[in-house]
Amino acid sequence: MATLSEARLKQLYDQAMKLQAAKRHEEALACYEQMIAANPRIAEVHFQVARIFTEAGKPARALPHLQAAAALRPAEPAIWRLWAAAVALTAEPEVEASFLAALKASTLPPALKLRLQDRFTPGHAYLPVLPPALRAEVRKVVPLMKAGRFTEAELLASSLLSRHPRCAAAANLLATAQARQGKIDAAVANYNKAAALDPEDGEPLNNLGQVLMEAGRLPEATEAFRGATIAAPCMVPALANLAMAMQRSGKIAAALPFALRAARLEPKDPVPLITLANLHTLLRDPEAAAAVLRRALVLAPARADAQALMGQALSRLGDDEAAMQHYDRALDLQPDLPLAISGKASLLQTLGRFDEAEGWFRRAFALDPANGEHYSTFLVSHKVKPGDPILDEMIARFEDPKTTDANRISFGFGIAKALEDLKDYDRVFPYLRAANDLTRKAHPYDIELRRKRVSALLQSLESRDWPGAPVPGASDFAPIFVTGMPRSGTTLVEQIIASHSTVTGAGEVNILADLAAKLLFPGREALAMADLPPEAIAGLGEDYLAALRQRHPEAARITDKSIQSYMYIGLIKLAMPNARIVVVRRDPRDNLLSIYKNKFTDGTHLYSNNLRDLGEYYRSFHEVIEFWRARTPDWFHEVQYEELVANPEAETRKLIAACGLDWEEACLNSHQNTRKVDTLSVFQVRQPISKSSLNAWQRYESHLGEMFEALGDLLPEDTHATV
């Protein structure tokens, strides 16, 4: 342990506090960490570290410091209040139980213990302390509000507040009356006043958040809902609103605990259930979304939004007929619901019914013109022609200062696609870079995490002798895995295979990689592959078969186009020796540019928004493929996209043979296959194979220097770039 003098500790503390006040949190934490390393028994240091993490939205990292601070100064109320705030912001039952047990055993004054305990008591209603006469005056405002007489309510509440300037309830009512009249700035000021007058009442902050969210001031709204949740961790509307605000900010996974808590606290309230289901949908967990929505629809079958969300979930589960029924039911209930209109449009699009889809998309534009997602999704299957007003509409929205970052991202990608359709290539990249930079801002990513993950995986796999002995009890299930980098041609290859009469295309199932990752990475460190018991490997195949049979119980052969499957080629073949694996490769310049040009589901493919990271990610992909090529070259078949489009029949025949299938002419006409395609290639795979996408990188060569540098020796020899 490093030793520091008292004078040096004081100097570090003063320096850290100044840095903290200036919001230079990383530097402040570095100072505090030095102090903790020298002397871990300074309660104030732990407290300040916890403050930084709590304010930064990382309450879990604050908890150990708060426990340490409370152990050192058990009677300090500020520590326990901050601890309660951090617990509220984790929204985790186990964390809450641990805190309440510590609170019960503490030596805090009984009144403070009771107040903190009451915060976490479901059903406990906070009642401000008011003299009876003042309470009676406050109650006079409420009937006016309920009757919609907001001007009178404002006058009465304003008079009341002028006579009792420290009455938080009067300030809250005044703000609400002003908000109902559209006096947003006045309402915000009075909600803030109410919250400052009574910090233990979460209602003013929840009301404030709603006003701010309706005004499009999302970051401020999120902070208000955070404050309401700290003051009242069991206030279901605040929890649901916080989850919704975080979702709209793109923080989908972080929003989930708050929606889960709200749904646990009010299991018979459909609103938190619908919020929770929406998050499950956005996190690509349609099974969980559908389960929650079944509960919500029992409680509120006439909720159009719940019907539309069920349509989304069932569509992603492959039950398209039932999905369409739910969309139509939603539209019967609420004909102008954008969620149902855009959902039906997207479903029609994935089914290849592009003309029908266009009409629904354009309805969505008219009803919800500020929503960029409608535009970017539509343009996946729509080629913009000269004179189409959609380009000017998107540019106007992109440049509008009121447009949120999330929508500006969608508009940016849409504009770039439209300009490329019009062959106006010189204007494409500024919009493309802006959209990607905004996405990176919303979803920070460190490529070093990918390097470490791949390194750990390869170290684990290296521990086994390959190919090694067969695994007893391995499944005889024989799926066909199509894998590779996104935008490399995997959808086209799956479409070709699924055009065979004996094959069902399952699309991006995203099950195998999750099962394999849990097997090899049960904790933070990877297990050695050599230490995996044979029954665990065989179990992987059985679990995968069970999951696939739920979705496609009658299918003889299934394709699974899950991108990450290439990571686990050896594990797949051990668990399912009859499986076939197809790896699709594409010129990295075209492949990575195509990734950069496309908008993926929020929170996925986070490496895709930075050109240098794209090059580094491709290097890791190449490293994994080379690992398997050196050890199990006969366990997978490679398709080079450029060769496939140049010689479709010859390469398709090789592909079908590699899949263990008899030749069928239908595989040469895969664009006529009417199966559902739920990827960014939904339009391309329904067109005859062409060479139009080859060498697209050359149009943007001057912008791709960072990507070329990162690719280094993996650049094809014909590159024009100077690196």
Q: For residue 671, what is the domain's CATH number?
A: 3.40.50.300
> Pick from 119, 138, 154: which residue ends a domain?
119
Listed range (75-79, 409-413, 545-549) with the worst mean pLDDT = 545-549
Q: Could you report the per-residue pLDDT of 152-162, keeping only the tens digit for each?
A: 999 999 999 99
622-633: per-residue pLDDT in tens? Answer: 999 999 999 999
Q: Would the pLDDT of 318 be above 50?
A: yes
Burial of 442 (0-12, 13-18, 19+ CB in 10 A): middle
**Boundary of a domain, candidates 442, 473, 494:** 442
Domain membership flag for residue 283 = no
**Co-location of 533 and 419 in the same domain:** no
pLDDT at 658 over 60: yes
In a domain, 422, yes or no: yes
pLDDT for 690:
60
Using the predicted structure, report yes or no on whether residue 379 has a pLDDT greater than 80.
yes
Phi-psi region of 713 (alpha: psi -120 to 50; beta: other; left: phi over 0): alpha
Alpha helices for 317-371 (secondary structure H): 320-333, 338-350, 354-367
Contact 673, 498 (CB under 8 A): yes
696, part of any domain: yes
- pLDDT at position 2, please? 61
Closest by CA position to 679, among listed 508, 485, 460: 508
In this model, does residue 468 exceed pLDDT 90?
no
pLDDT higher than threshold 70 for residue 672 = no
Name the helix (H) or strand (E) containing 581: strand 580-585
Q: What is the pLDDT of residue 689?
A: 59
pLDDT at 127: 78
Report the predicted TM-score, pTM, of the whole model to 2 decimal places.
Answer: 0.75
Q: Are 554 and 499 in contact (CB under 8 A)?
A: no
State the chain's mean pLDDT as an integer: 91
| Within a domain: 721 | no
Within-domain flag for 517: yes
Q: What is the pLDDT of residues 522-549, one digit of tens each?
A: 887 889 999 999 999 999 999 999 988 8
478 with 586, same domain: the answer is yes
Give the pLDDT score at 443.
86
Q: Looking at the structure, do residues 430 and 377 belong to the same domain, yes or no? A: yes
Count CB neighbours of 277 within 10 A: 31
Q: Same domain for 430 and 530? A: no
Q: Are residues 574 and 702 in the same domain?
A: yes
Q: How far apart are CA 699 and CA 167, in angstroms?
A: 65
- pLDDT digits 0-9 by tens, 217-231: 999 999 999 999 999
Question: How far apart, in whole angstroms, are the C-alpha atoms of residue 659 and residue 151?
Answer: 74
Name 20's Cβ contacts closer than 8 Å, sequence gap at least 6: 28, 48, 51, 52
Q: What is the mean pLDDT of residues 605-613?
A: 94
Shared domain check, 465 and 429: no
Looking at 119, 144, 176, the residue that finishes a domain is 119
Among 325-329, 334-338, 679-683, the least confident range = 679-683
pLDDT of residue 317: 87
Stretch (H or E) spanning 559: strand 557-560
Query: pLDDT category, 718, cuts 50, 70, 90?
Result: low
Q: How many domains does the chain have?
A: 3
Cα–Cα distance for residue pair 65/412, rounded to 1 Å:
42
Spatial distance between the Cα atoms of 539 and 532, rounded to a whole number of angstroms: 11
Beta-carbon contacts of 506 under 8 Å, excluding residues fewer than 6 positions away, are 318, 548, 551, 552, 555, 558, 559, 560, 561
* 51-60, 81-90, 602-611, 685-694: least confidently modelled range: 685-694
The reply to whether 455 and 562 lie within a common domain is yes
Residue 666, in any domain of the structure = yes
Structural contact between residues 458 and 627, judged by C-beta atoms closer than 8 angstroms: yes
CATH code, domain with 42: 1.25.40.10
Whole-angstrom Cα distance, residue 255 to residue 257? 6
Give the bridge partners for 168, in sequence order: none
> Is the predicted pLDDT of residue 675 greater than 60, yes or no?
no
- Residue 67 scores a pLDDT above 80: yes
Q: Is residue 455 part of a domain?
A: yes
Q: Which domain holds residue 39?
A: 6-119
Residues 680 and 639 in one domain: yes
Task: With a cut of 90, say whether residue 404 has pLDDT above it.
Answer: no
Q: Is the pLDDT of residue 673 over 70?
A: no
What's residue 723's pLDDT?
A: 32
β-pair partners for 581: 481
526 vs 88, higher pLDDT = 88
In a domain, 21, yes or no: yes
Token pair 């990575």 is found at 592
669, 687, 685, 668: which is closest to 677 by C-alpha? 685
436 & 453 share domain: no
Residue 350 CA neighbour count, 13 Å, CB half: 21
pLDDT, mean of residues 473-492 = 93
Instruction: Confirm if 573 and 635 have CB atoms less than 8 A apart.
Output: yes
Same domain flag for 529 and 624: yes
Is the predicted pLDDT of residue 721 greater than 50, yes or no?
no
Band of pLDDT at residue 722, cut at 50, 70 and 90: very low
Whether residue 517 sits in one domain with residue 605: yes
Neighbours of 612 (CB within 10 A): 16
Please check whether residues 523 and 398 belong to one and the same domain: no
SS (H, E, C) 363-423: HHHHHCCCCHHHHHHHHCCCCCCCCCCHHHHHHHHHHCCCCCHHHHHHHHHHHHHHHHHCC
